[in-house]
Amino acid sequence: MEYEPVIGIEIHVELKTKSKMFSSAPCTFGEAPNSQTVPFDLAMPGTMPVVNQEAVIYGIKICSAMHMNIARTLYFDRKNYFYPDLPKGYQITQQFHPIGTKGYVELVIDGKTIKVGVDNAHLEEDTAKQVHLSDVSLLNFNRCGTPLLEIVSDPDMHTGQEAMKYVETIREIVTYLGCSDGKMENGSMRCDINISLRPKGSTTLGTKSECKNLNTIANIGSAVDYEIKRQTEILESGGSVDQETRRWDEALKRTVLMRKKTNAIDYKYFREPNIVPIDLDEGFIYDAVHSMNKLPNQYRVEFRQLGLTDYQIEELLSDREFVLVFEDCIKLGVKSPEILWNFLMVEILGYLNKNEQTLQDLKFSRDALVSLVNIVHAGKINSRQAKEVLAIMLEEGADPVKIIKDKGLEQVSDTGAIENFVDEVLACNAQSIADYQKGKDRALGYLVGQVLKASHGKANPTLAKELILKKIRPCGSNK
């Protein structure tokens, strides 16, 4: 029998707010354990939750980017269970009325666009971090209360590639909006993947496994592919898939069992009585939606119009900081997006990586970069010289015009000056002239090269070529 895999994904996105979801403690990382807490984070008796407005705004932006319906009234509920990392004995979440419902994201795979439904997105709070040592477990409440937006997809995906693309797309959205770091490797974005198989053509869902501990996008693809294979083998050998939670083992390159889901825990959900329903007025939602950063798909359209290739676009989009510089330079009147892309994504990126720096460390302004690109575009210096200038700009930050002048790099485009070089070269290269006249085109290139050499690289090659041709073209020839 042929099986169809069905995949649904839950993503917890840590929101990059200044303070926690329900308390005034700062959301900072890497501080001394338990230093980033207020009494509420430790569930001291009598403390009460206060909803973080910034988290609500971030929630609205992300939901809006996923084409969701935004709730007009916010409600919060309690999810009750005992665990050491859950100080209150319940998590405040949005079980019954999520901030966002029924939306979708568009994935582009091999040039084809597919839609994946997003069932809901709800605001909640993160738990504390547990550190298990040999004989004790330690608790760090710094993370406790960090705002999370849990994004629940519809079971619309069918391959590991689609799952990867979905997570990548969500990651792009939340990072471009500036709402999250979206770093899977350090947990600011965490994915749980539900996978089940069903006979092709069937509309009911099979028993699913849930896969956790996926800290790279590549792992998602591997885990999904592995699970599809594992479940297919079980079904084909006449067995049945158990409902269980599994985890991706990076070393073994396979999923391993964490726990069987026997009796699901009853979380005894009910409305959080300390948070009265919050009406979001239209103005508030409007402001949130209209202060959204541009999303990757909007950039894709714009950059395509500028003539960038798909490869160039995707390379650029992989870092929003570079996108912003690129966009600024376009606004500042750059004449060649292509040359700009090359400088940014080859020279500058290479330099920054080598020196472990970021765009913030650049020593020159965007105007300077634009000016350099336009000088090259106008043919005033050649690309080799441009690299030289850019290297100096990266090291010292001087103005490109000044560098060119100081170094005397400006191409000689004065016909008279070049003509002198041409005459000089032609006078001592009779053989090459003869070769060219016999039809050896290569000889022309050699002559131009000699002119450049004679001018110490300053002669405009196009002009030099024209002049040479004028002088050595056989009479009556069309060449």
Partner 1 sequence: MLVKGEVSATQLVEECIALVETDKCNSFEAMCFEDARKEASKITKVEEDEFLKGIPYFAKDNYSTKGVETTASSNILNGYVPTYDATVVSKLRRAGMIQVGHTTMDELAMGGTGTTGHKGNTTNPYDRERIIGGSSCGSAAALAQGIAPFALGSDTGDSVRKPASYAGLVGLKPTWGRISRFGLFPFAPSMDTVGFFTRNVLDASYVLSTLSGHDNHDMSSSARKKEKYQEYVLKHKSLKKVGYFKAVMDGIIDPVIKKAFVNLLEEMKKKGYEVIEYDFKEELLDALYPTYMIISCAEAGSNNANLDGVRFGPSAMNNPQTYKEYMTDCRTRGFSDLIKRRFVIGSFALLAENQPEMFNRAQKARRLIVNALNEFFDSIDYLISPSAFSIPKKIKDLSTAWSTHPDFLDNILTIGNFGGYPSITLPLCFDQGMPIGVNITGRCFEDGHVLACAQDVEEITNLHDLVTEVK
For residue 440, what are the CA distances in angstroms to 448, 451, 465, 479? 14, 18, 15, 11
Nearer to partner 1, 73 or 203 (CB): 73
Site string for partner 1, 96-135 (x = CB under 8 A): ----------------------------------------
As a whole number of angstroms, the distance between CA 67 and CA 243 comes to 32
Q: How many residues bind partner 1 (CB under 8 A)?
A: 30
List the structure tokens of 60: 């609205």
For residue 218, what are the CA distances in angstroms to 4, 128, 165, 168, 252? 22, 27, 10, 10, 15
Nearer to partner 1, 247 or 271 (CB): 271
As a whole number of angstroms, the distance between CA 125 and CA 36 comes to 15
Q: Which residues pair with 151 in a beta bridge?
A: 11, 121
At closest approach, how far in Å is the CB of 29 from partner 1? Answer: 22
With contacts defined by CB under 8 A, name the span among 79-87, 95-103, 341-349, 395-403 that binds partner 1. 79-87
With contacts defined by CB under 8 A, name the span among 81-89, 158-166, 186-194, 203-211 that binds partner 1. 81-89
Candidates 88, 85, 89, 84; CA nearest to 40 is 88
Residue type at position 19: S
- Binding of partner 1 by 216 (CB under 8 A): no
As a whole number of angstroms, the distance between CA 105 and CA 118 comes to 7
Q: Which of 82, 133, 260, 305 binds partner 1 (CB under 8 A)?
A: 82
Candidates 179, 197, 296, 195; CA nearest to 248 is 195
Which residue is it, tokens 């997003």?
118
Q: Which of 30, 45, 408, 416 binds partner 1 (CB under 8 A)?
A: 45
- Binding of partner 1 by 50 (CB under 8 A): yes
With contacts defined by CB under 8 A, name the span among 77-85, 280-288, 297-305, 429-437 that binds partner 1. 77-85
Site for partner 1 in 266-305 (CB under 8 A): 266, 268-270, 273-276
Nearer to partner 1, 45 or 476 (CB): 45
Q: Which of 5, 6, 8, 49 binds partner 1 (CB under 8 A)?
A: 49
At closest approach, how far in Å is the CB of 344 from partner 1? Answer: 46
- Binding of partner 1 by 88 (CB under 8 A): yes
As a whole number of angstroms, the distance between CA 239 and CA 233 comes to 9
At closest approach, how far in Å is the CB of 49 from partner 1? Answer: 7
Q: Which of 28, 39, 310, 406 binds partner 1 (CB under 8 A)?
A: 39
> How are beta strands 278-279 and 77-80 bridged, if at all?
unpaired
Do the beta carbons of residue 8 and residue 196 sit within 8 Å?
no
Quick one: CA dihedral 463, 466, 467, 468, positive or negative?
A: positive
Candidates 436, 361, 369; CA nearest to 399 is 369
Site for partner 1 in 132-161 (CB under 8 A): 137, 139
- Binding of partner 1 by 324 (CB under 8 A): no
Q: In the complex, which residues of this chain contact partner 1 (CB under 8 A)?
A: 39, 42-51, 78, 80, 82-84, 87-90, 137, 139, 266, 268-270, 273-276
